[in-house]
């Protein structure tokens, strides 16, 4: 590899403060992709070879949940000493720019000893000799800088090299006989990359550990940043050598931030205060953006929730587990208030819908309270089943027996709440998965029951939950305000309507447009006699026609004739399947009088084996979805002579019908497909919809194009439904 192959281009991103101060810039290293792939392969080989060599005290290794493992060890040590009222010293150590100061001589010696093929060792050492940076200061010419010490930031191999080269520090502290004698063998080291914390029973052993750590680190080219180190002691006794720790590292009084948590011997309440401030600020930034609700949900669930749950699911403050979950619930409430303020949900809309999965019409946001409960379950599974935590588990059992708050007591509260049965598994990963599945299922059941308790629409959705979908909710054009109005109307929670639950005056409940029916959202979007629903229907027909024209490779001239939002077309052209004739919005003459002879779309494929396709479109309310399927099939496939309605479609006898007449007239098979989209954008995976998808497939429409058709049609439907609602309210 050449120097250009291994070069790191450093882009400086300005943060804040004086632009002339380099500290106010964040360096971003951009490495050659080929180089990163090579080092990724080498790193995989190294990881397999040295897994058993790395010290157990180093949490940045395979087979452990690093920060969780470290926090479990740390809290067991501090809480056991607290329970027994013993002197206990905690020391936190911070290195000055650890990644950038590791001596290359030590790295080369390390690479020489790695149990990997010689060719890989040669590649790594050759690359190290050519490491160089190209710095791009804002507004200045690039600067070339050779790398003489440290490891690359952003290199796949760098973390593993750093962990391996610093493993000697942990090994020397752990095996030093003087430290073992001074601490009576009761010292503990917990490391995560360059974050090292030591526990010791007395001041002398703490001094000895620090001296050994400084000496070992100096040999590797590392230096302690004494100003950022910290020391805390409970029940400090006079040291045999006299003095205290003030001449070593600063004493910690209000807390030290370790693995993301502020702590002394217990986690500080300040953790939650800081978390709340940051989470609410980030949530407001996400929820107030111009993204769609689906995009906001993805970002919120992937960025805000993990950051929040890391704190709420790992802190062990003085408060009870009920107090922690109560604080999480309050934080969820504040986030929902932001949702209302940004019109993601309306105030009267059910709170449960914010957390229900989008597959059944929920917004799909995750609850901090629920995710914290899930983290308690994961932590319990890890603690009880991980083979390296057997001794630590016994310490926690002792603490639990003494009525101290522990991961065991936290999980016990969750197990009782959800009536969980603890399965017998062979490993902690399987147990964690089973417990999480149990909590999610129980929580979902509770939320669904609460959602459907007093509302008709949720009961309809939940009855169809195995087959229902909401394609428009995931469409990239569906903005939050539109979706929130649709959700409010579906739940009959538009307060401006006279018959909305909560308005009690009987004389005030009739439709403001003069209809004798009560003014509900259902009435407004489906049956108000002063409202035209043609545009909504025609939008769905338009998307069906456009999909067919694209699948059949229609000429551009034919496509241009199809106007947006119109359901009218009369075209003939040659397609890959053969000559095709499409008629939409026109009555079909069959030689016999038929009452129902105007389907939305008719496609005739005039191939060697001709066939005809009739497509009928309907936009019903969810409660009438299956009824409309029956009505449409009866109109065109059983009896096209009589007037068909919801009153007689199931009982009327067979008579002349459009399907049979076309089959007789054209001497071909005639297929009837029903394209049904609910007025709030719902789609049910019924037999009729599956048949419709198969018919489209026989015309050359791919599965992803069928999915896109449903998304676009459902989006147009909810857009028109929103307009109908707004016009009715005079907006």
* CA 251 – CA 244 distance, rounded (Å): 10
Residue bearing tokens 């500080």: 268
* CA 187 – CA 201 distance, rounded (Å): 7
Report the pLDDT averaged over residues 169-185. Answer: 92
Residue 213 CB partners (closer than 8 Å, separation 6+): 93, 169, 173, 196, 198, 224
Rounded-to-10 torsion of CA 577, 580, 585, 589: -120
Say which DSSP state 580 is in. Answer: E
User: Around Cβ 687, how many Cβ atoms within 10 Å?
Assistant: 9
Residue 10: φ, ψ to 5°: -100, 115
Q: With bands split at pLDDT 50, 70 and 90, how would you rate the model's confidence at 512?
A: confident
DSSP states along 432-483: HHHHHHHHHHHHHHHHHHHHTSS-HHHHHHHHTTTTEE-GGGG-TT--HHHH
* pLDDT cut 90: percent of the chain above it: 71
**Which residues in 525-610 belong to E strands, given as ranges?**
569-575, 578-584, 601-605
Q: With bands split at pLDDT 50, 70 and 90, how would you rate the model's confidence at 236?
A: low
Report the pLDDT averaged over residues 87-115. Answer: 89
Say which DSSP state 605 is in. Answer: E
The three-state secondary structure class of 318 is coil
The three-state secondary structure class of 508 is helix
Average pLDDT, the chain: 91
Report the pLDDT averaged over residues 512-520. Answer: 88
| Residue 462 and residue 451 in contact, taking contact as beta carbons nearer than 8 Å | yes
Q: What is the pLDDT of residues 315-348, one digit of tens each?
A: 988 889 999 999 999 999 999 999 999 999 999 9
Q: Which of 391, 400, 407 is nearest to 314 (CA)?
A: 407
Q: What is the pLDDT of residues 376-432, one digit of tens each?
A: 999 999 999 999 999 999 999 999 999 999 999 999 999 999 999 888 877 889 999
Residue bearing tokens 């309306």: 346
Q: What is the pLDDT of residues 106-147, one digit of tens each?
A: 899 988 988 889 999 999 999 999 999 998 887 788 889 899
DSSP states along 110-179: HHHH-SS-HHHHHHHHHHHHH-EEEEE-TTS--EEEE--BS--TT-TTHHHHHHHHHHHHHHHHHH-HHH
* CA 403 – CA 254 distance, rounded (Å): 26
Say which DSSP state 103 is in. Answer: B
Report the side by side order of strands in the sheet with 7-14: 25-31, 7-14, 132-136, 143-146
Q: Give me the residues paired with residue 468 across strands.
A: 684
Q: What is the pLDDT of residue 245?
A: 46
> Residues spanned by CATH 3.90.1850.10 within the chain?
3-263
Query: 238 is written with which tokens?
Result: 């006079």
Q: What is the pLDDT of residue 240?
A: 47
Q: What is the pLDDT of residue 423?
A: 80
Say which DSSP state 95 is in. Answer: B
Say which DSSP state 251 is in. Answer: B
| Residue 212 and residue 179 in contact, taking contact as beta carbons nearer than 8 Å | yes
Q: Is 12's pLDDT higher than 90?
A: no
pTM of structure: 0.89
Q: Is 513's pLDDT higher than 90?
A: no
Residue predicted with more confidence, 616 or 11: 616
CATH architecture designation of domain 3-263: Alpha-Beta Complex (3.90)
């Amino acid at each position: 590899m050449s120097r250009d192959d291994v070069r790191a281009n450093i882009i400086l991103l300005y943060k804040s403060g004086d632009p002339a101060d380099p500290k106010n810039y964040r360096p971003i290293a951009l490495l050659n992709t080929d180089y990163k792939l090579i080092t990724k392969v080498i790193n995989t080989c190294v990881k397999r070879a040295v897994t058993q060599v790395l010290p157990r005290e180093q949490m940045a290794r395979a087979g452990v949940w690093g920060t969780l493992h470290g926090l479990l060890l740390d809290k067991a040590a501090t809480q056991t000493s607290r329970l027994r009222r013993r002197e206990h010293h905690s020391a936190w150590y911070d290195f000055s720019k650890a990644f950038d100061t590791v001596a290359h001589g030590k790295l080369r010696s390390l690479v020489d000893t790695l149990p990997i093929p010689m060719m890989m060792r040669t590649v790594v050492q050759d690359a190290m000799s050519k490491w160089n940076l190209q710095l791009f200061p804002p507004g200045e010419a690039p600067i070339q800088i050779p790398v003489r010490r440290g490891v690359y930031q952003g290199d796949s191999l760098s973390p593993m090299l750093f962990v391996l080269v610093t493993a000697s520090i942990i090994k020397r502290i752990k095996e030093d006989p003087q430290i073992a004698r001074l601490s009576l063998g009761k010292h503990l080291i917990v490391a995560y990359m360059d974050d090292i914390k030591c526990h010791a029973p007395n001041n002398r052993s703490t001094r000895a550990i620090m001296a050994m750590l400084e000496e070992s680190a100096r040999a590797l080219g590392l230096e302690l940043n004494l100003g950022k180190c910290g020391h805390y002691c409970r029940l400090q006794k006079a040291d045999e050598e006299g003095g205290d720790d003030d001449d070593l590292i600063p004493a910690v009084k209000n807390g030290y931030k370790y693995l993301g948590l502020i702590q002394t011997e217990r986690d500080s309440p300040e953790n939650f205060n800081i978390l709340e401030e940051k989470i609410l600020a980030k949530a407001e930034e996400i929820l107030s953006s111009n993204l769609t609700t689906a995009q906001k949900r993805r970002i919120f669930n992937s960025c805000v929730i993990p950051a929040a749950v890391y704190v709420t699911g790992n802190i062990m403050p003085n408060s009870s587990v009920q107090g922690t979950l109560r604080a999480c619930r309050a934080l969820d409430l504040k986030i929902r208030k932001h949702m209302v303020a940004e019109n993601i949900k309306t105030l009267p809309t059910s709170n449960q819908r914010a957390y229900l999965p989008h597959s059944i019409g929920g917004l799909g946001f995750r609850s901090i309270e629920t995710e914290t409960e899930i983290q308690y379950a994961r932590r319990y599974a890890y603690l009880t089943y991980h083979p390296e935590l057997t001794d630590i588990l016994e310490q926690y059992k002792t603490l639990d027996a003494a009525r101290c708050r522990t991961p065991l007591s936290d999980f016990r509260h969750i197990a009782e709440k959800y009536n969980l049965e603890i399965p017998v598994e062979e490993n902690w990963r399987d147990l964690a998965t089973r417990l999480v599945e149990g909590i999610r299922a129980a929580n979902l059941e509770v939320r669904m029951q609460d959602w459907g308790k007093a509302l008709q629409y949720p009961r309809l959705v939940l009855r169809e939950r195995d087959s229902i979908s909401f394609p428009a909710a995931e469409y990239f054009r569906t903005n939050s305000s539109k979706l929130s109005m649709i959700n409010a109307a579906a739940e009959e929670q538009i307060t401006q309507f006279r018959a909305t639950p909560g308005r009690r005056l009987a004389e005030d409940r009739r439709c403001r447009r003069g209809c004798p029916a009560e003014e509900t959202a259902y009435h407004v979007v489906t049956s108000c006699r002063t409202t035209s629903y043609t545009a909504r229907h025609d939008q769905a027909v338009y998307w069906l026609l456009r999909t067919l024209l694209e699948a059949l490779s229609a000429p551009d001239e034919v496509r241009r004739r199809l106007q947006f939002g119109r359901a009218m077309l009369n075209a003939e052209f040659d397609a890959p399947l053969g000559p095709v004739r499409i008629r939409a919005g026109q009555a079909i003459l069959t030689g016999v009088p038929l009452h129902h002879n105007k389907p939305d779309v008719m496609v005739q494929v005039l191939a060697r084996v001709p066939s005809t396709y009739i497509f009928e479109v309907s936009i019903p309310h969810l409660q009438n979805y299956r009824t409309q399927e029956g009505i449409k099939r009866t109109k065109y496939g059983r009896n096209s002579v009589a007037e068909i309605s919801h009153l007689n479609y199931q009982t009327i006898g067979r008579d002349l019908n459009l399907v049979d007449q076309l089959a007789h007239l054209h001497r071909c098979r005639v297929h009837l497909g029903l394209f049904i989209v609910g007025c709030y954008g719902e789609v049910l995976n019924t037999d009729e919809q599956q048949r419709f998808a198969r018919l489209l497939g026989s015309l050359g429409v791919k599965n992803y194009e069928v999915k896109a058709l449903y998304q676009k049609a459902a989006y147009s439907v909810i857009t028109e439904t929103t307009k109908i609602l707004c016009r009715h309210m005079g907006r």
